[in-house]
């Protein structure tokens, strides 16, 4: 019998497995595909970490700890996980993004600089913003390489003594109140505690979650710049940009010879993760092309490469970090609504604190399941 089983070894599950095994627990991590696969939410070689969290200042203590933990892990394991490029929040002065980002900087005394319109181009020439736009630059922001983070976490978990099963699908689970049995394609496993980090599949395995978690198809594309020197990591901070065409995010040249761009929510297509369309359409590309022409120095018309990914949205876009009602030995970490990866390091830590010590220093009120009525239709 295990002390704890973790279902799903993507961003959150691999971090949880690592932190639990680091504390000496006898743990099993189960992944339905191969470790580091590209069918869930944690692939594509880059994930933004920005500190001035416009979505709510409750996130700032978490993101500060996450940032510190990523740097610590880099040092301990001698692996490059986090590329510091600086991060930009861009929008009109009275936009949700700029108001929220400035508030977070002021309340937490975060180092930042504010640029107006094309002042930004003097420092970062690839950005060509209209005069009325504001940019909040946070020098400590940047991007994580999700595949490197997950591989590091799983390898170090195994070094800590964890069992890992890949290409093993969890079908179901049951609890007698004390002991939990997990039914999988590789047989049944018993455990005292269970952690669900199954991303877009969480609502499929645990029906109580199905109405509050909505998987959504996303597409990102890499466009080749005409002047690549202006899109390098030292000249092109990652960005989160609120414009009339939508909320866009993007990265400097890394992994491929192009800058990467995505639109939050993309075409707002609700999907079943097992049946998602992974073909790229003309509409996918044109949706990502529009801001390239309007707000940036020239890039190729056609992308070098495009990729499908999945958001798992909650009705209010805040995470779910809570025990499953009626099961105080089953913890759910899901609904990361397109902005979770940067937090994986702190989420792994806080889950291990909850499982081992029964508490965490962080206030998880915003992420409780109480805010939803389970099984209500949204
Ligand atoms: C295009 C895109 C861009 C993003 N950009 C950012 C960003 O810039 N910054 C940021 O912070 N966040 C970003 N996000 C969000 C972030 O990537 C996600 O919030 C995060 O990766 C979610 O991690 P997860 O562990 O919940 O899901 P996943 O990493 O998908 O992990 C879930 C795992 O569970 C496994 N699983 C599911 N069901 C079963 C089963 N029955 N049996 C066994 N295993 C199972 C899956 O195979 C999967 O590996 C982005 C997401 C996308 C799609």
Asked if residue 223 and residue 294 are part of one domain, the reply reads yes
Tens-place pLDDT, residues 237-293: 999 999 999 999 999 999 999 999 999 999 999 999 999 999 999 999 999 999 999
Q: Is ligand 1 within 6 A of the CB of residue 66? A: no
Query: Is residue 377 very low, low, confident or very high in pLDDT (cuts 50, 70, 90)?
Result: low
Q: Is ligand 1 within 6 A of the CB of residue 8? A: yes
Residue pair 194/173 in contact (Cβ under 8 Å)? The answer is: yes
Asked if residue 140 and residue 104 are part of one domain, the reply reads yes
CATH number at residue 330: 3.50.50.60
Model confidence pTM above 0.85? yes
CA-333 nearest atom, ligand 1:
26
Q: Is ligand 1 within 6 A of the CB of residue 251? A: no
CATH number at residue 90: 3.30.9.10
Burial (Cβ within 10 Å: 0-12, 13-18, ≥19) of residue 151: middle
Asked if residue 251 and residue 193 are part of one domain, the reply reads no
Query: Is residue 122 very low, low, confident or very high in pLDDT (cuts 50, 70, 90)?
Result: very high
Asked if residue 151 and residue 300 are part of one domain, the reply reads no
Tell the residue nearest (CA) to atom 33 of ligand 1. 8
Measure 113 CA to ligand 1 centroid, in angstroms: 31
In angstroms, the Cα distances linking 268 to 94, 214, 219 are 25, 10, 11
Query: Is residue 375 very low, low, confident or very high in pLDDT (cuts 50, 70, 90)?
Result: low
Measure 211 CA to ligand 1 centroid, in angstroms: 18
Tens-place pLDDT, residues 160-198: 999 999 999 999 999 999 999 999 999 999 999 999 999
HSE at residue 254, side-chain half, CA atoms within 13 A, is 26
Closest CA to 118 of 126, 129, 106: 129
Q: What's the average model confidence in pLDDT over 49-56?
A: 97
User: How do beta strands 187-196 and 327-334 pair?
Assistant: parallel
In a domain, 278, yes or no: yes
Report how many domains make up the chain.
2
In a domain, 52, yes or no: no
Q: Is ligand 1 within 6 A of the CB of residue 38? A: no
Asked if residue 136 and residue 238 are part of one domain, the reply reads yes
Asked if residue 300 and residue 156 are part of one domain, the reply reads no
Residue pair 85/228 in contact (Cβ under 8 Å)? The answer is: no
**Looking at 282, 313, 344, which one is the last position of a domain?**
313
Residue pair 299/126 in contact (Cβ under 8 Å)? The answer is: no
CA-13 nearest atom, ligand 1:
25
Tens-place pLDDT, residues 213-239: 999 999 999 999 999 999 999 999 999
Q: What's the average model confidence in pLDDT over 134-147?
A: 98
In a domain, 347, yes or no: yes
Measure 34 CA to ligand 1 centroid, in angstroms: 14
Q: Is ligand 1 within 6 A of the CB of residue 203? A: no
* pLDDT recorded at residue 113: 98
In a domain, 182, yes or no: yes
Asked if residue 338 and residue 298 are part of one domain, the reply reads no
**Looking at 274, 297, 313, which one is the last position of a domain?**
313
Q: Is ligand 1 within 6 A of the CB of residue 103? A: no
* pLDDT recorded at residue 374: 60
Asked if residue 245 and residue 139 are part of one domain, the reply reads yes
Tell the residue nearest (CA) to atom 41 of ligand 1. 170
Ligand 1 pocket test: pick from 8, 17, 219, 273 the residue with the most ligand atoms within 8 Å of its Cβ.
Answer: 8
Measure 347 CA to ligand 1 centroid, in angstroms: 13
In a domain, 125, yes or no: yes
Asked if residue 136 and residue 235 are part of one domain, the reply reads yes
Ligand 1 pocket test: pick from 38, 40, 44, 168 the residue with the most ligand atoms within 8 Å of its Cβ.
Answer: 40
Asked if residue 100 and residue 139 are part of one domain, the reply reads yes
Q: Is ligand 1 within 6 A of the CB of residue 173? A: no
* pLDDT recorded at residue 376: 55
In a domain, 11, yes or no: yes
Average pLDDT for the chain? 97
Tens-place pLDDT, residues 289-332: 999 999 999 999 999 999 999 999 999 999 999 999 999 999 99
Asked if residue 154 and residue 77 are part of one domain, the reply reads no
In a domain, 377, yes or no: no
Token pair 């995010």: residue: 249
Ligand 1 pocket test: pick from 18, 47, 85, 170 the residue with the most ligand atoms within 8 Å of its Cβ.
Answer: 47
In a domain, 109, yes or no: yes
Query: Is residue 373 very low, low, confident or very high in pLDDT (cuts 50, 70, 90)?
Result: confident
- Three-state SS for 271? coil
State the residue range of the domain holding 339.
2-42+146-212+316-371
**Looking at 313, 338, 357, which one is the last position of a domain?**
313
Asked if residue 293 and residue 230 are part of one domain, the reply reads yes
- What number of other Cβ atoms are within 10 A of residue 274's Cβ? 10
* pLDDT recorded at residue 219: 98
């Amino acid at each position: 019998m295990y002390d704890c089983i973790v279902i799903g070894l993507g961003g959150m599950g691999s971090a949880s497995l690592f932190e639990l095994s680091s504390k000496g627990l006898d743990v099993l991590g189960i992944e339905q595909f191969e470790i580091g696969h590209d069918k869930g939410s944690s692939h594509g070689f880059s994930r933004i970490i920005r500190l001035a969290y416009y979505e709510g200042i409750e996130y700032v203590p978490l993101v500060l700890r996450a940032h510190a933990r990523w740097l610590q892990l880099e040092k301990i394991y001698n692996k490059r996980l986090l590329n510091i490029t600086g991060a930009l929040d861009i929008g009109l002065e009275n936009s949700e993004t700029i108001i929220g980002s400035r508030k977070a900087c002021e309340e937490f005394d975060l180092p930042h600089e504010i640029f107006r319109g094309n002042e930004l181009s003097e420092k970062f020439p690839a950005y060509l913003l209209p005069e009325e736009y504001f940019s909040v630059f946070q020098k400590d922001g940047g991007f994580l390489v999700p595949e490197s983070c997950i591989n590091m976490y799983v390898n170090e978990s195994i070094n800590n003594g964890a069992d890992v099963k890949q290409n093993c699908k969890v079908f179901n689970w049951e609890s007698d109140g004390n002991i939990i049995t997990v039914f999988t394609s590789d047989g049944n496993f018993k455990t005292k505690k269970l952690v669900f980090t199954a991303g877009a599949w969480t609502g499929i395995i645990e029906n109580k979650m199905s109405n509050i978690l909505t998987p959504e198809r996303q597409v990102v594309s890499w466009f080749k710049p005409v002047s690549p020197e202006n899109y390098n990591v030292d000249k092109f901070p990652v960005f989160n940009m609120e414009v009339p065409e939508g909320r866009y995010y993007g990265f400097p040249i890394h992994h491929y010879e192009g800058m990467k761009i995505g639109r939050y929510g993309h075409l707002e297509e609700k999907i079943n993760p097992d049946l998602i369309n992974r073909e790229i359409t003309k509409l996918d590309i044109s949706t990502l092309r529009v801001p390239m022409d309007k707000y940036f120095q020239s890039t190729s018309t056609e992308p070098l490469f495009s990729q499908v990914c999945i958001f798992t949205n909650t009705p209010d876009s805040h995470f779910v970090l809570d025990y499953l009602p009626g099961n105080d030995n089953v913890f759910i970490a899901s609904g990361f609504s397109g902005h979770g990866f940067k937090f994986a390091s702190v989420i792994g830590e806080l889950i291990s604190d909850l499982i081992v010590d029964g508490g965490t220093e962080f206030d998880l009120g915003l992420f409780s399941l109480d805010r939803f009525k389970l099984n209500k239709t949204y």
